[in-house]
Amino acid sequence: EKYQKEIDKAVFPGVQGGPFMHVIAAKAICFKYAMTDDFKNYIANVIKNSKRIAKVFAEEGYRIVSGGTDNHLCLIDLTSQKITGKDAVESLYNAGIVVNKNAIPFDILPPTIASGIRIGTPAVTARGMKEKEMDKIAGQIIVVLKNLNNKEVQEKVRGEILNLCNEFPIYEDMN
């Protein structure tokens, strides 16, 4: 009885609250789309693109956590390059490339700094980019990582990335 009010408040509506109908409807639409050939082709390309980025990094001597990828992202270990995930994220952001810092297994750095970066491919794939463009993107990321905090390099890469984005607009009719 002493804690009954607090427990009741925590359980309902929080944990046992009713379902939100708009969320159920949204999930139904997503599940229906996931059954289409269009989605199957898209997600197959997402995975191909992720594998390609991992391959380019591996060929450049970077360790890919888990030895590769079979999903929408790859995790790159930066310890051999003596770069932190935080520094990589900041330098890449200044070059117009968005990645996430990410801890790697047995990371000695705190998660706020991290020893790796996570690169995802769903957004670039949705724009229509394929493996050829992943070679360019991975190459530009590597250029920035080899020239960390170099403003000249960041500006040059930013221009290359902008050109690539213009080739693959989000909305065709808004170019």
For the segment 105-153, what is each residue's pLDDT rounded down to a tens digit?
Answer: 999 999 999 999 999 999 999 999 999 999 999 999 999 999 999 999 9
Number of domains making up the chain: 1
Residue 61 belongs to some domain of the structure = yes
Q: For the domain that residue 86 is a member of, what is the CATH number?
A: 3.90.1150.10
Provide the residue range defining the domain that includes 126. Answer: 20-170
Would you call the peptide bond into 13 cis, given omega within 30 degrees of 0 as the criterion? yes
For the segment 42-80, what is each residue's pLDDT rounded down to a tens digit?
Answer: 999 999 999 999 999 999 999 999 999 999 999 999 999
Residue type, 108: I
Sheet holding 100-102, edge to edge: 63-64, 73-77, 116-120, 100-102
